[in-house]
Chain A
Amino acid sequence: MTEISAAPRVIPDRLTSPLARALRSWEALLVVVAVAVFAINSFASPYFLNAWNLSDATFNFTEKAMIAFAMAMLIIAGEIDLSVASIIALASTAMGIAMTAGFDTPALVAVGIGTGVLCGALNGVFVARLGLPSIVVTIGTMSLFRGISTIVLGDEAFTNYPDSFAWFGQGYVWWVFSFELVLFAVLAVVFFVLLHRTNFGRSVYAIGNNPTAALFSGIRVNRVRFILFLLTGLMSGIAAVCLTSRLGSTRPSIATGMELEVVTMVVLGGVNILGGSGRIMGVVLAAIIMGLVTFGFGLLNVPGIVMSIFLGLLLISVIAVPRLLAKVRK
């Protein structure tokens, strides 16, 4: 029953053009939501449409988004890191100790980032080396890192950071563009290239869809997993530097609950929580949406708890609506 064809059968590379695909994508939906939130905010508050106010608004999401980029890759690979906020606490505490010991800004930055990388490496060893489930490992290290930080700090707080240190969280590169905002933009590009344009990024997708087949295809699965945890630690360290610098202090409550906001951002950005799919562009848009919502509510003096109710509803509805529509169509 073999068919002998004279000419080889030609299979087209793509059936839908990349543009058509983009227009029907999750990201397109997020753009619509972002525009809507922006418009509503503009009508609701006269203070919203102001370059400096908008610039201030970006601080609502920049630090979380940095971590969210790395978290997105981790979740696409089928893992998760719930210890990121605790890594911030520990890294910030380590910087406080270094500051008390008389170190200056460059050393403080190194200590903060270094602590983050070490914490990430610890998670990575547990998951990639020992094969433990990441959700359990990082719930454990979440308590561990936060606990160490709390013991060191007690009721105290580190303040008195050097003036030059304040630039990372409070400085502006040019006009209304803060250092954090520029860093956010640069990192968005870096992670976009890493995930969508490199061999490493491709391996991440392969592992997330089918780790066994990825292994059978010659991908060093555990090495990739380890690097992803290292990367998430690194980003948490950088976020710790920015946040500590912006607040000018380290308190025991620093970054409490941030891990869930980061995961929310990633999922809202269209990353499948079960792994295998998602794009950096979606995470960027989700970060902006969450920032705008928080800022808009802030201008209207809406209490924080209402904001988190709203964000929860937004998350569920953005995920549920497409599925409901698909069901209605059937």
Chain B
Amino acid sequence: MTHDKAPVLCLSGISKSFPGVRALSDVQLELHAGEVTALIGENGAGKSTIVKVLTGIYQPDAGTITVDGAEMRFDTADAAARAGVTAIHQETVLFDELSVAENIFLGHAPRGRFGLIDRKGMEAEARALLHRIGADLDPRLALKELGIASKHLVAIARALSIDARVVIMDEPTAALSHKEIHELYELVERLKAEGKAILFISHKFDEIFRIADRYTVFRDGQFIGAGRMKDVTETQLVQMMVGRSVDQIFPKRAHNIGAPVLTVSGYSHPTEFEDVGFTLHRGEILGFYGLVGAGRSEVMQALFGITRPSKGACRIGEDVAVIRSTADAIGRGIVYVPEDRGRQGAVKGLPIFQNVTLPSLGRISRGGFLRMAEEFKLARDYTQRLDLRAASLDQDVGLLSGGNQQKVVIAKWLATKPRVIILDEPTKGIDIGSKAAVHEFMAELAAEGLAVIMVSSEIPEILGMSDRVIVMREGRIAAELTGSEMTPERLVRAAAGIEKAA
């Protein structure tokens, strides 16, 4: 190949904003027939957003999509499908209760007499398609009877059935075993041979080097670079992913790290994590880094009494603590600010003051009876400390912006006077001003002697705020980094499982 063919699909100048967040900013992406393009970037780099733009779920604010040189608009998922773009998602979007054949042909089933579905024909075609990709599944089986790997095959057969020209594979190997991954590679080769353009999204470098012909790197919603895999090294890719100008200033303060507050040892869970142990000290900010699905939130939720570990012990100060419920954890002084703010954090529908006092009802009541004056006082104190912006304390918390909702959730936990506060992605999806306020506050808490755990997928935040970083990978602790070891490269390598470079 001396001369590049024109790309099948070309995105240029694509921008997309959500309230408070600029998800994509003037990005470009080219996909070529018969080639695999790897899309690389950290969590939050805009990979999922671009997939949603490509499949017609999001409409970009600006930019053009061209297919074979003709400009197109993907206003609906159907429009994208008709243009020949199909996606195989992380969690495959198929229908458990329908049969394999029905899943493959949903929306474009072969019709027989009277416009009814030609079931026999559909099943025969499904069988032929499955055979083509080397999967001999019975098309009449219900999808729920299949394993994850077979479901992927069905999704791929579906992609072939609509004669897709562009196949998007969004972390297709995340849930697969070693052998299944190998089979997937073969399948990708076969799709390449058929001339499909493939967009392959993965965090795993070994996979990318194994399967991809080209790469495109995004960072913070921006296009960083693209090229051929053979012209690039792992180190260069990592640098493109993380290397950035330090444009955020983190308010880390000089503070003393004191005695151990929380000692966790051998925490295990049948499916989510294994043998996790660490010690957290007074006045310390301990960062937890890892890829999505590395088990960080699951460990934190076990510490908070949501799920129960199958093995392991936890000590608070000198005492052995048994945490069976969230009420136990709160009683022991462990509190958790969840990642999923809307579902697990704020109780929308209740006013701000009631949200703040919810875990502290015992303190503002006497004999089980609420004391309104005390309640408002507590809410006022803590919302002021966090510099909350709201019209009044009896405003519905659901009417606040994401950043202010987060402040309410943090205020709620501080009001319980905790010893350990766990913040799970505390600044995800909130505007830059609130972000800085949350960082400021975290530093202040540590300086006051609270022990802070911060789970974050944002490298600058982890490096800027933490005294020490634990990196998790596939449910285990992959590395513990302190001082000068805390570099973006070290974090990414540990999280992705890349052997240490010289």
Q: Which residues of A contact B (CB under 8 A)?
A: 1-3, 5, 8-15, 193, 197-200, 202-203, 205-206, 208-210, 212-220, 276-277
Contacts and interface: CB of A to CB of B under 8 A. Distances in A.
B325 A220 contact: yes
Interface string B397-418: 0000000000000001000000
Given A9-B389, A198-B370, A199-B370, A3 B433 contact: yes
A205 B368 contact: no
Contacts, number: 116
B358 A9 contact: no
B84 to A, nearest CB: 40
Interface stretch (B202-210, B348-356, B477-485): B348-356
A1 B433 contact: yes
Interface of B: 251, 304, 306, 325-327, 329-330, 336, 338, 343-350, 353-354, 358-359, 361-362, 365, 368-370, 376, 380, 383-385, 387-395, 412, 432-433, 436-437, 440
Scoring A206, A208, A218, A277 by chain B CB atoms within 10 A of each residue's CB, the highest score goes to: A218
Nearest to A200: B368
Q: Which 4 A-B pairs have the closest CB atoms?
A: A209-B349, A199-B361, A218-B330, A15-B392
Given A2-B437, A214-B347, A14 B393 contact: yes
A10 to B, nearest CB: 7
Contacts of B304: 216
A28 B161 CA distance: 61
B393 A197 contact: no
A2 B436 CA distance: 6
Nearest to B383: A11
B353 A13 contact: yes
Contacts of A197: 369-370
A209 B440 contact: no
Contacts of A208: 349
B394 A198 contact: no
Contacts of B251: 2
Nearest to A211: B347
A209 B350 contact: yes
A216 B338 contact: yes
Nearest to A215: B326
Given A11-B383, A11-B388, A212-B343, A218 B327 contact: yes
A214 B354 CA distance: 12
Contact of A11 (B359, B362, B384): B384
Given A199-B361, A205-B354, 13 more contacts: A1-B433, A3-B387, A8-B384, A13-B393, A14-B392, A199-B362, A206-B347, A206-B358, A210-B343, A210-B346, A215-B306, A217-B326, A218-B359
A213 B354 contact: no
Nearest to B249: A2
A13 B392 contact: yes
17 contacts: A2-B433, A8-B387, A9-B384, A11-B390, A12-B392, A13-B392, A199-B361, A199-B362, A208-B349, A209-B350, A213-B345, A216-B336, A216-B344, A218-B329, A218-B330, A219-B327, A220-B325
A210 B326 contact: no
Nearest to B344: A216
A271 to B, nearest CB: 14
A198 B364 CA distance: 10
Nearest to B391: A15
Nearest to A201: B370
A219 B358 contact: yes
Given A198-B370, A206-B350, A220-B325, A11 B393 contact: yes
Given A2-B436, A209-B347, A213-B343, A13 B376 contact: yes
A278 B278 CA distance: 46
Contact of B394 (A1, A15, A203): A15
A13 B394 contact: yes
Contacts of B354: 202, 205-206
Contacts of A193: 369
Contacts of B370: 197-199, 202
